[in-house]
């Protein structure tokens, strides 16, 4: 009954319901990257242990999960939340990442960073490089755990940038599995660990599929979560929010009721109007173009194409860009790839062969 009333009131009085405790907040469509709700989403703030989303994705992209890492004396620099590893313990990267994400182990962050890149400094360089690649233009990392440095500096980002990061990370199957795990048993050469995920939405809100909590005295409570209902996926980020779990759940309920998932173009069904330069070939996309939209918005979605007419090309080349706009504002872009028509290619080779043999 509470959820029903929330949805009804949100439709009639959206500004009343969409009032949350967070200083910064955003909701992002995981499919398209469309911003569904924002509140001071571009204000730079400390992000505390939500940093560990970036730590995890950088580690996953640099090292195999079954790689063993030995804990050394550098772990003694860790304080705050931890999984309490000891010098000399040997653990797989997989177990360390579960300890990092489920229990927010600052000691695990140090061991991972040094094990993957040789030092915290080298690992942080990779974190910042990845942030640059993702377009996180208002983000800077100083460490892999999220605690403020001795000089007062701390990892800083915006709700929008962290939503971009979560959208990217959720495309990684290993990340999805780790962040969505409620309970995990990890092992080293010395101990067995039993961990419960600190993200309580995994147990209290049925559509939650992942996320990361965070807290320091300066940053206060930070939270990044993702939820999926049917094929609709949304990420929510809150920075400095004393009521974060409830705020996330309330906003998910409103957005899942308000928006429907719309398929704009299927990945293997791309037709560019009034364009026949590649008339014997096929266009395709990396994935279906989908976005969350209200029923009223569906008739206002426009698709346009920018094509490159290449004289020389091969299957798999990028030959254009598909643009999707709503009310004249671009929401997303997708690269258009080409697939050469195999039958036409074979026919052309045979024609050349016979021409050479018989003087055609």
- Rounded to 5 degrees, φ, ψ at 5 are -65, -40
Question: What pLDDT does residue 119 have?
Answer: 98
Q: Provide the annotated active-site residues.
A: 49, 52, 104
Report the SS3 class of residue 79.
Answer: coil
More confident residue, 11 or 341: 341
Q: Is the pLDDT of residue 208 over 50?
A: yes
Does position 347 have pLDDT exceeding 80, yes or no? no
pLDDT at residue 353, as a whole number: 55
Given this model, what pLDDT does residue 13 score?
43
The answer to whether residue 15 scores a pLDDT higher than 60 is no
pLDDT of residue 341: 85
Helix, strand or coil, per DSSP, at residue 228 = strand
User: Which tops the pLDDT comparison, 10 or 257?
Assistant: 257
CB 248 within 8 A of CB 20: no
The DSSP symbol for 148 reads P
> Mind giving me the DSSP string for 177-206?
HHHT-SEEEEE-SS-EEEEE-S-THHHHST
Residue in the structure block whose two tokens are 């990945």: 267
Please say if the pLDDT value at position 345 is more than 50. no
Q: Is the pLDDT at 188 greater than 80, yes or no?
A: yes
What are the structure tokens assigned to 291, written together?
């976005």
Residue 283 has pLDDT above 70, yes or no: yes
pLDDT at 152 over 90: no
Residue 301 has pLDDT above 80, yes or no: yes
Cα–Cα dist 28/36, whole Å? 6
CA-based R_g, the chain, Å: 24
Quick check: 357 pLDDT over 90? no
The one-character DSSP state at 270 is B
* pLDDT tens digits, 213-223: 999 999 999 99
- Using one digit for the tens of pLDDT, what is the confidence trace for 68-90? 999 999 999 999 999 999 999 99
- Per-residue pLDDT tens over the stretch 101-149: 999 999 999 999 999 999 999 999 999 999 999 999 999 999 999 999 9
What is the C-alpha separation between 196 and 217, in angstroms, rounded? 23
The alpha carbon of 9 is separated from its chain's Cα centroid by a whole number of angstroms, namely: 31
Q: Which burial class, exposed, middle or buried, applies to 128 when counting CB atoms under 10 A from its CB (0-12, 13-18, 19+)?
A: middle
Residue 247 in this model has a pLDDT that exceeds 70: yes
Note the pLDDT tens digit of each residue in 37-55. Answer: 999 999 999 999 999 999 9
**What's the mean pLDDT in 269-281?**
94
The average confidence (pLDDT) of the chain is: 92
d(CA 291, CA 233): 10
């Amino acid at each position: 009954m509470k959820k029903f009333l929330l949805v009804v009131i949100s439709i009639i009085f959206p500004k009343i319901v969409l009032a949350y405790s967070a200083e910064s907040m955003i909701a992002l469509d995981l499919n398209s990257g469309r911003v569904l709700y924002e509140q001071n989403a571009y204000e730079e703030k400390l992000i505390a242990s939500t940093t560990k989303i970036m730590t995890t994705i950088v580690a996953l992209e640099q090292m195999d999960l079954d790689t063993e890492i030995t804990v050394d004396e550098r772990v003694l620099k860790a304080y705050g939340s931890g999984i309490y590893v000891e010098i000399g313990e040997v653990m797989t990267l997989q177990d360390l990442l579960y300890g990092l994400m489920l229990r927010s182990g600052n000691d695990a962050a140090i061991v991972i960073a040094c094990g993957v890149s040789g030092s915290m400094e080298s690992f942080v360089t990779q974190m910042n490089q990845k942030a640059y690649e993702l377009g996180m233009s208002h983000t800077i990392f100083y460490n892999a755990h999220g605690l403020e440095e001795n000089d007062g500096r701390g990892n800083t980002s915006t709700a929008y940038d962290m939503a971009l990061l979560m959208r990217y990370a959720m495309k990684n199957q290993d990340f999805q599995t780790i962040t969505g795990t409620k309970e995990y048993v990890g092992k080293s050469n010395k101990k067995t660990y039993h961990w419960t995920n600190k993200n309580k939405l995994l147990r209290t809100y049925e559509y939650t599929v992942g996320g990361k909590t965070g807290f320091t005295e300066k940053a206060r409570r930070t939270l990044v979560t993702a939820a999926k209902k049917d094929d609709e996926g949304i990420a929510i980020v809150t920075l400095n929010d004393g009521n974060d779990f409830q705020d996330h759940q309330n906003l998910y309920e409103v957005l899942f009721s308000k928006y429907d998932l719309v398929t704009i173009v299927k990945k293997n069904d791309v037709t560019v109007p009034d364009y026949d330069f590649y008339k014997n070939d096929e266009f395709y996309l990396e994935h279906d173009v989908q976005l969350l939209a209200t029923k009223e918005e569906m008739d206002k979605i426009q698709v346009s194409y920018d094509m490159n007419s290449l004289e020389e090309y091969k299957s798999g080349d990028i030959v254009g860009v598909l643009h999707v706009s709503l009310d004249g504002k671009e929401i997303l872009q997708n690269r258009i790839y080409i697939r050469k028509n195999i039958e036409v290619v074979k026919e052309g080779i045979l024609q050349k062969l016979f021409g050479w043999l018989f003087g055609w």
